[in-house]
Structure 1
Amino acid sequence: MFSRDKIVEFEVQDVRYPTSKTLDGSDSVHTDPDYSVAYVTLTTDKGVSGYGITFTLGAGTDVVVKAIELLKRKVLDKSLHDIFTNYRAFYRSLTQDSQMRWLGPEKGIVHLATAAVTNAVWDLGARLANKPLWRFVVEIPVGDLVAMIDWSYLSDVISEDEIMEMLSEGEHDKEKRIKHLEERGYPAYITSVGWLGYSDEKVKRLTNEKLSEGWTAFKMKVGISQEDDMRRAKLIRSLIGPDNKLMMDANQIWDVKEAITRMKQLKKYDPYWIEEPTSPDDVDGHAQISMALREHGIGVATGEMCQNRVMFKQFLKLHAMQFCQIDSCRTGGVSEVIAIMVLARKFGVPVVPHAGGVGLCELVRHYSMIDYVLVSGKIDDRMCEYAEHLHEHFTDQAEIKNARYVLPYRPGFSCEMTEYAVDTFRFPDGTYWNN
């Protein structure tokens, strides 16, 4: 099943976009982001390339690039067959290196670096199998897939036997779910209308545009001031009406008590969830906020900056999240994301991936398809984030139709950037930055 092509070339580049000029992506904490990626290219002895990214906000991308370069020795001269038939050991060679581990472990810069490398490995594997990543994954025999994933530190909440049983349950009607995706796509919500740096006039224009395109779920940023939050929430709710969903995202700016107070003030605008209301590491704080807001019908979403599967385990076990926001680059790539999806199913929490940024929409649509087809079997209670930025810089762009992600069909993990994108926005020597 897995190609015997050997990886003989490894390249990593720093690619940055000046999104701070337009305030695309701006929120209460990240006020001037320059959407960026560390971009990995792996090439085999047969001349086939695979691509991987990890997402950053500009400054510091060079540090991630350096960390990726330190992982190069773990990948070069290995065949795809050897990597995938013993993937758990390969993954641990990246995350459990006796010296590099000290810089994590399994978090921060070294985990961002791990994601870029493993994303490229999975992209290459899927390309060589001539399948889109989601299909490449769901067609791996369940026993083989379970053996590939690192389940360490999770045995107190789930066993590998239970995981095997869970993932085997849906095998008989897997093709039915794929057909549903082919016909209807995957539900999405849009964030592009509500960046914090946008004027009220721009928010109004964009919201009306998206309503006319058929969007029914919208997200806005909150957290700068009570007055601004109330005004902007009132504006968007008045435009989208009472039947459409409105999500709010504080991007970690509040303390626990402040988050509860502010959301009780905003409840009159019927928020579906509050995202990252406090520190992304504060499991107990999220649990307190979840409990306080439950009676008001407001859920808590988090995971965009959750470090690893062990942190997700705690959030889920302590009922500190009602929506599980996996990210395609924050944790260790495909195998760890699947582990987190399994945990979310175990605790009955819907997976609603974080996207936007550069290339994240391209990647996470694969994860939503994997969750539905392989893990949860559910689609009606979940959505995948979408933002309208920088898709044109990828060769396999995320496609939206009727406010739903269209099923990806091109081989790979959709990580490949166009030559124009790399030549223009590579930092610091791309033509844009040179000029």
Structure 2
Amino acid sequence: MRKPTSPLQPTVAAASPACEAAVSLFCIMLITGKITGLTVADVRFPTSVGHHGSDAMHTDPDYSAAYVVIETDAGDGLKGHGLTFTLGKGTEIVVCAVKALSAHVVGKELEDIVKNFRDFYRQLTSDGQLRWIGPEKGAVQLATAAVLNAVWDLWAKKEKKSPNQLISCIDFRYITDALTEEEALEILQNGKHGQKAREEYMANNGYPAYTTSCAWLGYSDQQLQKLCTDALKDGWTRFKVKVGADLDDDKRRCKLISDMIGPNNQMMLDANQRWDVNEAIHWVSELAVFKPLWIEEPTSPDDILGHATISKALAPLGIGVATGEQCHNRVMFKQFLQANALQYLQIDSCRLGSVNENLSVLLMAKKFNIPVCPHAGGVGLCELVQHLIIFDYVSVSQSLENRMCEYVDHLHEHFKYPVSIKGAAYMLPKDPGYSTEMKEESVVQYQFPNGHVWQQLILEKKVQL
């Protein structure tokens, strides 16, 4: 059996054999070799046909990815694979942005990139012309994540990195009023204490997860009941329910699910940005009888003060606010934390600028003592985020209190090294890299719009372009 491994490796003197390389995204080797090419494909899966992923704002998503492959001249055929998640339409825009960014990547030596990763990150996010249409946000930032995810996949091998080297990957511009480089280094150094025990815990137990797969808004009652029944049998104890389209229907569906999972299991709610601030407070207050742990994205993802108002109003009900899956960058997360606008912070592996920016957010969350409960699901998000959450527990937060990671049981079969779930927990990955490599046949079959799957759906008039 292959030993666990992962792109991020916490710095330890002698990691346990079972999780030496997997407990973190920082298991890294300096690899000589020039980047000779970058390709990007528009890969889409017709999840809208079965209402998978449906919520109050996104009623017919087709889970998709701008899928990047970076080629090198290394003799062993070394390649890096990265992606960013989308919902179908608009993927072509992200693909164009990736192609525009490729000029900053192709021709560079990988060793030069990782030796000055902060400068490389800033180069990608500070292109003088591209920055104008998305200064660390929007389609350009999604494209940046895809490219950087591929670079991290390239870099993910076996040599451990020190906290100083890890800090050098982070761009602290705009966040030093909340977290300085010195504070970040201190957090990582303190994270070395008791690290071996936490590694062993992850190897034996995995990272706790919750499921969103049972309660998409477009599912029938019969489908909800079957999926909840199956999930309970598989050991799931935490369930997220999509809400926000109709209050009476939300009450009915929440009661249906609450009765099924029982009082000893946990329910969370997700409105996917549907409400105004006062509407959110009223709506969630009406659903408080079901004792949800949190309400996720209750209003505009950009409304930091609105989230703060909602947080303050719902606190007496024992309901927290969770958000972050559409938080543009580390600056917004900084302000959410400074404004006490969230109680559960949800990083995303593709919305932010890959590992580099996610590191800064994990460190800020530690300083502000806010639990991180990442967004996942989609295409490859579970595969990516597993590395971040395990690293967070082992080397940053040192805690599992009020922490869990989202899991959605869709599309993992298309990945060469799919995520492993056991007992409602993320188990340690066992293969090198960032778990981003898709099966070649899947990329070909689901490439939009000329892949066989899409051509067949068009022929059968099940979709329209």
State whether TM-score is above 0.5: yes
Q: Which amino acid aligns with 2:356?
A: S
Does structure 1 conserve the Cα–Cα contact (< 8 Å) formed by 2:210 and 2:237? Answer: yes
CA distance in 2, matches of 1:170, 1:342: 11
Q: 1:5 aligns with which of 23, 33, 42?
A: 33
Amino acid at match of 1:119: N
Match of 1:416 in 2: 437
- Between 147-156 and 181-190, report the one with greater CA deviation: 147-156
- Determine if contact 2:304/2:341 at 8 Å carries over to the other structure: yes
Asked if 1:202 corresponds to 2:223, the answer is yes
Question: In the TM superposition, what whole-angstrom CA distance separates every residue of 1:380-417 from its partner, at most 9, and x where no partner exists?
Answer: 32001001100000011011101100011200001101
Deviations 1:203-243 (A, max 9, x none): 01100110011100000100010111000000100011111
Deviations 1:283-336, CA, capped at 9 Å, x for gaps: 000000000000000000000000000000000111101000000100100010
**2:175 counterpart of 1:154:** yes
Report what 1:20 is aligned to.
48
**C-alpha root-mean-square deviation of aligned residues, in Å?**
0.9
Asked if structure 1 preserves the Cα contact closer than 8 Å seen for 2:371 and 2:401, the reply is: no
Q: Find the counterpart in structure 2 of residue 34 from structure 1.
A: 62
Match of 2:207 in 1: 186
- Quote the offset at 1:171 in angstroms: 1.4
- Equivalent pairs, count: 426
Aligned-pair identity (%): 54
How far did 1:433 drift? 1.6
Q: Residues 146-180 of structure 1, C-alpha deviation per residue, up to 9 Å, x if partnerless?
A: 12210111111121111111110021322221111
Quote the residue 1:86 is aligned against. 116
Partner Cα separation in structure 2 for residue 172 and residue 28 of structure 1: 44
- Does residue 117 of structure 1 match 2:147? yes
Aligned to 1:235: 256
Q: 1:105 aligns with which of 135, 139, 163?
A: 135
Aligned to 1:308: 329
**8 A Cα contact 2:133 2:140, kept in partner:** yes
User: Residue 57 of structure 1 corresponds to which residue in structure 2?
Assistant: 87
- The letter of the residue matching 2:198 is R
Q: Which residue in the other structure is 2:390 paired with?
A: 369
Q: SS where residue 83 of structure 2 aligns?
A: strand
Tell me whether 1:69 sits opposite 2:90 in the alignment.
Answer: no
Work out the CA distance in 1 between the residues paired with 2:303 and 2:191: 34
Deviation at 1:337, TM superposition (A): 0.3
Write the distance in 2 (CA, Å) between the matches of 1:63 and 1:411: 30
Q: Give, as a single letter, the amino acid of the residue that structure 2 aligns with 1:371.
A: D
Aligned with 1:297 (options 295, 318, 340): 318
User: 2:18: which partner in 1?
Assistant: none
Q: What secondary structure is seen at the aligned counterpart in 1 of 2:214? A: strand
What amino acid does structure 2 have at the position aligned with 1:4? T
The CA distance in 1 between the partners of 2:194 and 2:312, in whole Å, is 36
C-alpha distance in structure 2 between counterparts of 1:45 and 1:180, whole Å: 39
AA partner of residue 205 (structure 1) = K
For residue 407 of structure 1, what is the amino acid of its counterpart? L
Q: What's the CA shift for 1:10? A: 0.8
- Displaced runs of 4+ in structure 1, greater than 4 A? none
Aligned-partner Cα distance in 1 for 2:415–2:400: 27
Q: Which residue of 1 aligns with 2:22?
A: none
Structure 1 segments unaligned to the other structure (5+ residues) = none
